[in-house]
Amino acid sequence: MQDRTPSGAGDMLLYLTDEQLRQGIEAMFFAYRGFTADPDRLLARRGLGRAHHRAIHFIQRSPGTTVGNLLATLGVTKQSLNRVLRRLINDELVATRTGNTDRRQRLLYLSEEGLALERALSEAQKRRMRAAYRAAGPEAVAGFRLVLDQMMDPAQRRLFRALSRGGGA
Protein backbone atom coordinates (compact mmCIF):
# COMPACT_ATOMS: atom_id res chain seq x y z
CA MET A 1 0.00 0.00 0.00
CA GLN A 2 1.37 3.38 -1.00
CA ASP A 3 1.91 5.95 1.76
CA ARG A 4 -0.15 8.96 0.66
CA THR A 5 -0.03 10.95 3.87
CA PRO A 6 1.69 14.32 3.68
CA SER A 7 3.74 13.71 6.82
CA GLY A 8 4.91 10.18 6.01
CA ALA A 9 3.08 8.78 9.04
CA GLY A 10 1.24 6.25 6.88
CA ASP A 11 2.53 3.18 8.66
CA MET A 12 0.96 4.33 11.92
CA LEU A 13 -2.36 4.92 10.18
CA LEU A 14 -2.49 1.36 8.85
CA TYR A 15 -2.98 0.03 12.38
CA LEU A 16 -5.81 2.15 13.75
CA THR A 17 -7.85 0.40 16.39
CA ASP A 18 -11.62 0.06 16.17
CA GLU A 19 -11.90 2.65 18.95
CA GLN A 20 -9.75 5.14 17.01
CA LEU A 21 -11.90 4.57 13.92
CA ARG A 22 -15.07 5.07 16.00
CA GLN A 23 -13.64 8.33 17.31
CA GLY A 24 -12.96 9.44 13.73
CA ILE A 25 -16.53 8.59 12.74
CA GLU A 26 -17.89 10.52 15.70
CA ALA A 27 -15.62 13.47 14.91
CA MET A 28 -17.09 13.53 11.38
CA PHE A 29 -20.64 13.56 12.80
CA PHE A 30 -19.89 16.41 15.20
CA ALA A 31 -17.90 18.37 12.60
CA TYR A 32 -20.77 18.03 10.13
CA ARG A 33 -23.19 19.24 12.78
CA GLY A 34 -21.00 22.30 13.33
CA PHE A 35 -20.52 22.83 9.60
CA THR A 36 -24.27 22.85 8.98
CA ALA A 37 -25.37 24.73 12.14
CA ASP A 38 -25.17 28.28 10.77
CA PRO A 39 -26.80 27.48 7.41
CA ASP A 40 -29.49 25.43 9.18
CA ARG A 41 -30.47 28.52 11.20
CA LEU A 42 -30.66 30.68 8.05
CA LEU A 43 -32.68 28.03 6.22
CA ALA A 44 -35.05 27.46 9.16
CA ARG A 45 -36.11 31.12 9.03
CA ARG A 46 -37.49 30.40 5.55
CA GLY A 47 -38.86 26.96 6.40
CA LEU A 48 -36.17 25.31 4.25
CA GLY A 49 -33.81 22.45 5.02
CA ARG A 50 -30.54 20.87 3.96
CA ALA A 51 -31.97 19.37 0.78
CA HIS A 52 -32.86 22.90 -0.36
CA HIS A 53 -29.36 24.06 0.61
CA ARG A 54 -27.68 21.34 -1.47
CA ALA A 55 -29.85 22.16 -4.49
CA ILE A 56 -29.14 25.90 -4.14
CA HIS A 57 -25.42 25.23 -3.78
CA PHE A 58 -25.11 23.09 -6.90
CA ILE A 59 -27.38 25.28 -9.03
CA GLN A 60 -25.13 28.22 -8.12
CA ARG A 61 -22.03 26.16 -9.01
CA SER A 62 -23.47 25.27 -12.43
CA PRO A 63 -26.00 27.89 -13.57
CA GLY A 64 -28.18 26.47 -16.32
CA THR A 65 -27.73 22.90 -15.16
CA THR A 66 -30.51 20.52 -16.07
CA VAL A 67 -32.76 18.73 -13.64
CA GLY A 68 -31.14 15.47 -14.80
CA ASN A 69 -27.66 16.74 -14.03
CA LEU A 70 -28.78 17.97 -10.62
CA LEU A 71 -30.34 14.57 -9.94
CA ALA A 72 -27.03 12.87 -10.73
CA THR A 73 -25.04 15.33 -8.62
CA LEU A 74 -27.27 15.08 -5.56
CA GLY A 75 -27.93 11.36 -5.86
CA VAL A 76 -31.58 11.69 -4.84
CA THR A 77 -34.81 10.42 -6.33
CA LYS A 78 -36.66 12.41 -8.96
CA GLN A 79 -39.65 12.67 -6.61
CA SER A 80 -37.50 14.06 -3.80
CA LEU A 81 -35.78 16.59 -6.07
CA ASN A 82 -39.09 17.68 -7.61
CA ARG A 83 -40.47 18.42 -4.15
CA VAL A 84 -37.37 20.52 -3.30
CA LEU A 85 -37.36 22.34 -6.65
CA ARG A 86 -41.08 23.06 -6.51
CA ARG A 87 -40.58 24.83 -3.17
CA LEU A 88 -37.54 26.78 -4.39
CA ILE A 89 -39.37 27.85 -7.54
CA ASN A 90 -42.53 28.81 -5.60
CA ASP A 91 -40.38 30.85 -3.19
CA GLU A 92 -38.80 32.54 -6.24
CA LEU A 93 -35.29 31.40 -5.29
CA VAL A 94 -34.87 29.31 -8.46
CA ALA A 95 -35.96 30.14 -11.99
CA THR A 96 -36.31 27.67 -14.85
CA ARG A 97 -35.80 28.19 -18.54
CA THR A 98 -36.50 25.89 -21.42
CA GLY A 99 -33.48 24.32 -23.09
CA ASN A 100 -32.32 25.84 -26.37
CA THR A 101 -31.82 22.56 -28.22
CA ASP A 102 -34.20 20.33 -26.28
CA ARG A 103 -37.40 22.15 -25.36
CA ARG A 104 -38.20 19.42 -22.80
CA GLN A 105 -35.17 20.36 -20.71
CA ARG A 106 -35.59 22.61 -17.71
CA LEU A 107 -32.48 24.68 -17.10
CA LEU A 108 -32.07 25.86 -13.52
CA TYR A 109 -30.80 29.25 -12.36
CA LEU A 110 -30.83 31.06 -9.04
CA SER A 111 -32.85 34.26 -8.91
CA GLU A 112 -31.32 37.38 -7.36
CA GLU A 113 -32.91 36.39 -4.06
CA GLY A 114 -31.61 32.84 -4.49
CA LEU A 115 -28.10 34.16 -5.15
CA ALA A 116 -28.29 36.32 -2.02
CA LEU A 117 -29.38 33.32 0.07
CA GLU A 118 -26.64 31.15 -1.41
CA ARG A 119 -24.03 33.80 -0.57
CA ALA A 120 -25.23 33.99 3.03
CA LEU A 121 -25.21 30.21 3.38
CA SER A 122 -21.78 29.74 1.84
CA GLU A 123 -20.24 32.68 3.72
CA ALA A 124 -21.24 31.08 7.02
CA GLN A 125 -19.59 27.82 5.97
CA LYS A 126 -16.52 29.52 4.49
CA ARG A 127 -15.93 31.36 7.78
CA ARG A 128 -15.95 28.07 9.67
CA MET A 129 -13.75 26.30 7.09
CA ARG A 130 -11.29 29.21 6.92
CA ALA A 131 -10.89 29.28 10.71
CA ALA A 132 -10.43 25.50 10.90
CA TYR A 133 -7.93 25.46 8.01
CA ARG A 134 -5.91 28.28 9.54
CA ALA A 135 -5.83 26.58 12.94
CA ALA A 136 -4.82 23.21 11.46
CA GLY A 137 -2.17 24.45 9.02
CA PRO A 138 -1.43 23.60 5.39
CA GLU A 139 -0.10 20.08 5.98
CA ALA A 140 -3.22 19.09 7.94
CA VAL A 141 -5.46 20.66 5.29
CA ALA A 142 -3.72 18.65 2.56
CA GLY A 143 -4.14 15.48 4.64
CA PHE A 144 -7.81 16.26 5.32
CA ARG A 145 -8.49 16.77 1.62
CA LEU A 146 -6.79 13.47 0.84
CA VAL A 147 -8.89 11.65 3.45
CA LEU A 148 -12.10 13.17 2.03
CA ASP A 149 -11.02 12.24 -1.50
CA GLN A 150 -10.36 8.65 -0.47
CA MET A 151 -13.74 8.37 1.27
CA MET A 152 -15.60 9.19 -1.95
CA ASP A 153 -16.84 6.44 -4.23
CA PRO A 154 -15.01 6.56 -7.59
CA ALA A 155 -18.04 8.02 -9.42
CA GLN A 156 -18.46 10.71 -6.75
CA ARG A 157 -14.74 11.49 -6.94
CA ARG A 158 -14.97 11.99 -10.73
CA LEU A 159 -18.01 14.23 -10.31
CA PHE A 160 -16.31 16.24 -7.55
CA ARG A 161 -13.16 16.70 -9.65
CA ALA A 162 -15.23 17.80 -12.66
CA LEU A 163 -17.06 20.37 -10.52
CA SER A 164 -13.77 21.52 -8.99
CA ARG A 165 -12.35 22.15 -12.46
CA GLY A 166 -15.36 24.33 -13.20
CA GLY A 167 -17.21 21.75 -15.25
CA GLY A 168 -20.92 21.49 -14.79
CA ALA A 169 -22.71 18.71 -13.06
Please check whether residue 140 lies inside any domain of the structure: yes
Per-residue pLDDT of 12-42, as tens digits, reads 566 789 999 999 999 999 999 999 999 999 9
Indicate whether 46 belongs to any domain. yes
Q: With 70 as the cut, is the pLDDT of residue 4 above it?
A: no
CA distance 42 to 113: 14
Q: Does residue 49 sit within a domain?
A: yes
Tally of domains within the chain: 1
143 within domain boundaries: yes
DSSP assignment letter at 47: T
| Model pLDDT, residue 13 | 60
Is 123 among the domain residues? yes
Asked if residue 14 is part of any domain, the answer here is: no
Tell whether 11 is covered by a domain. no
The predicted-structure confidence for 43-62, as pLDDT tens digits, reads as follows 999 999 999 999 999 999 99
Q: Is the pTM of this model over 0.85?
A: no
- Whether residue 3 is predicted with pLDDT greater than 50 in this model: the reply is no
Domain of 112 in residue numbering reads as 19-164
Residues 6+ apart with CB under 8 A from 5: 13, 143, 146
Domain assignment present for residue 1? The answer is no
User: Dihedral through CA 41, CA 45, CA 50, CA 53, nearest 10?
Assistant: -100
CATH number (domain holding residue 156) = 1.10.10.10
The per-residue pLDDT for range 74-123, each reduced to its tens digit, is 999 999 999 999 999 999 999 999 878 877 888 999 999 999 999 999 99
| Structure confidence at residue 11 (pLDDT) | 56
Does residue 86 or residue 155 have the better pLDDT? 86
